[in-house]
Amino acid sequence: MEDRTLMNEFSGLADRWSEAPFIRDSKNNEFSYLQARNKVLSLVAYFRSLGVNRCDRVIIISPNHILIPLSLYAINALGAIAVIINDQTRRETLKIIADEVDPALILFQKELLDDHKLLVNCPSVSLDDLAIINIDPELKGQKFVGCCDDPALIIYTSGSTGKPKGVVLTNDNIIFVSQKIQARLAYQINDVIGLFLPLSFDYGLYQVFLAALSGACLFLSDSSCAGPALAMTLKNNNISVFPGVPHLFGILAQFLSRKKVNLSAIRLCTNTGAHLAATQIRQLNEYLPNARIAPMYGLTECKRVSILTPDELVKKPGSVGRALDETNVFIVGDNGEILPPGQIGELVIVGRHLALGYWRSEAETALRYRAHPSGVGRALYSGDNFRMDADGYLYYVGRRDEQIKRNGFRINRLEIENAAMAMDGIQNACLLQHNDKLILFIEFCETPIDNLEIIRFLAANLEPYKVPDAIEVLDQFPVSNNGKINRKAIEMSLA
């Protein structure tokens, strides 16, 4: 029996889906499943000739590129570890990561090659140059290196100290959670998945694995496709599954409020990365009438925790769903005790998708991966506050380290931000505390609203101590590389 690795799984799925389209991009490049596997095998031979071996690390730094998923599978076939980094990463941060992972090979977008190739003393290759690599692979009896417990990916995220930390995911972590996600979302063989999120963001990257499981086609674009371009790209490419974050959905809704575009092909929208407010769900229902919406919750350290299926959305508004199959979740108090339904505490996760930890960071790993609440086994402590109802549905309350303490009260930012976004005309909201004052930053859909009117609306819907002291209006919220609202950038405007 073959070991369950990403490449072994993909090779079998390529046989199953055969001539169906696997991946295409806006430049009309396209690979069927069989063509993709053959290209992967050619890259395996090439990477091997460059000296890539089992457990070596290979950095990929580029905007979304059709060769990234194929390179990832080739790296996996050699038993090596892929490290996909956002192309907007600062040179100083990239240097920290490169020193830490000590790569055997770096794959770049061509424009970035000259800027970054001297970071480490190892081979550097342009992804565009990989397109012309054509080593005739030996198809019969092809065996791939590695086993299910081998590390397959390192995904970098920000650490509690500000230093980037690499989440180490095994083949089994990825295969297990991809199958559990697919069991809930049910992507179909005739689906076209529109990917506008970076592949360096695990939510974007896992669309590759979900496409392969279902035989769907992945249409690869990027976050620069916004406003009118986003709507027309969705229409012209017959996108049926649209994974996004609230900011991306907001951009689309803002455009569709002014101009009608037929996006009836979209049947499913999934959300994670930030809470999808009720107002944004209403917008999606209005402008994408055939789309069913699936809010989710996850974190890089285990990929996905819960999914609220479209059928559950009406009966459990505000929830991010039930835990995935074969996943256990608990709400624990400050002393580690398991809390009953309805009480707020830290979400703790147990399952096969828990990552090994952080690359060469025992201290960070020990903070997040700790003993099971019962005292036996290993669990992931999320750092997020939740409550769980009697039916097992989870409700996000906010980051534990982002709670605001004011005049003896604990205030959750999300509650106030959601209250603001329930007001017609408000697209985004971000609450910050400055010198003991609560300042609410607002982004309007179109027509500005008087600040006093916003304060009156919030006063009618919140306790007095939660009403902001001031309203600040931004033309457009700054966002991170993954499309999430960049709170730190907003906070800097208060300095």
CATH (residue range 6-171): 3.40.50.12780
User: What is the model's pLDDT at position 117?
Assistant: 57
Query: pLDDT tens digits, residue range 66-97?
Result: 999 999 999 999 999 999 998 888 888 888 89
- Residue 141 has which token pair? 């009896």
Residues whose CB falls within 8 Å of the CB of residue 31, separated by 6 or more in sequence, listed in order: 21, 22, 23, 24, 39, 66, 70
User: What average pLDDT does range 365-392 have in this prediction?
Assistant: 94
Residue 418 pLDDT > 60: yes
Residue 460 sits at φ, ψ, to 5 deg, of -80, -10
The C-alpha atoms of residue 353 and residue 174 are separated, in whole angstroms, by: 7
Residue 141: left if φ>0, alpha if ψ -120 to 50, beta else—which one? left
pLDDT at 59: 96
Predicted confidence (pLDDT) at residue 400 exceeds the cutoff of 90: no
Looking at every residue in the chain, the average pLDDT score rounds to: 90
State the average pLDDT over residues 150-164.
Answer: 80
Helices 202-214 and 6-17, axial angle in degrees (round to 10): 40
Fill in the amino acid letter for 38.
N
**Cα separation, 114 vs 123, whole angstroms:** 13
Q: Say if 320-399 and 406-492 have the same CATH topology.
A: no
pTM here is 0.87
How many Å apart are CA 484 and CA 202, to the nearest integer? 13
Type of residue found at 411? I
Distance CA 193, CA 268 (A): 10
Angstrom distance (rounded) from CA 25 to CA 118: 30
Q: Which CATH number fits domain 320-399: 1.10.1060.10, 3.40.50.2000, 2.60.40.2300, 2.30.38.10?
A: 2.30.38.10
Residue with the two structure tokens 């990989």: 130
Per-residue pLDDT at 276: 83
Give the tokens for residue 167: 């989440």
Nearest alpha-carbon partner for 451 in 429, 418, 433: 429
Range with the largest mean pLDDT of 66-70, 415-419, 443-447? 66-70
Higher pLDDT, 57 or 468: 57
Instruction: List helix spans (H) across 257-317.
Output: 278-287, 310-313
What's 273-290 look like in SS3?
A: CCCCCHHHHHHHHHHCCC
| 3-state secondary structure at position 202 | helix
Closest CA to 100 of 291, 358, 294, 308: 358
Domain boundaries, the chain: 6-171, 320-399, 406-492
pLDDT of residue 466 exceeding 60, the answer is: yes
Domain 406-492 has CATH 3.90.700.10: no
Per-residue tokens: 469: 């002291």
Q: Find tokens 């350290």 and name the residue.
A: 301
CA distance 318 to 278: 7
Percent pLDDT > 70 in the chain is 93
At 160 the pLDDT is 46
Give the Cα separation of 411 and 409 in Å (integer): 6
For residue 117, count CB atoms less than 10 angstroms from its CB and return exposed for 0-12, middle for 13-18, buried for 19 or more: middle
pLDDT band of residue 495 (cuts 50, 70, 90) is: low
Digit-coded pLDDT (tens) for 102-144: 999 999 987 666 665 556 778 899 999 999 988 876 655 567 8
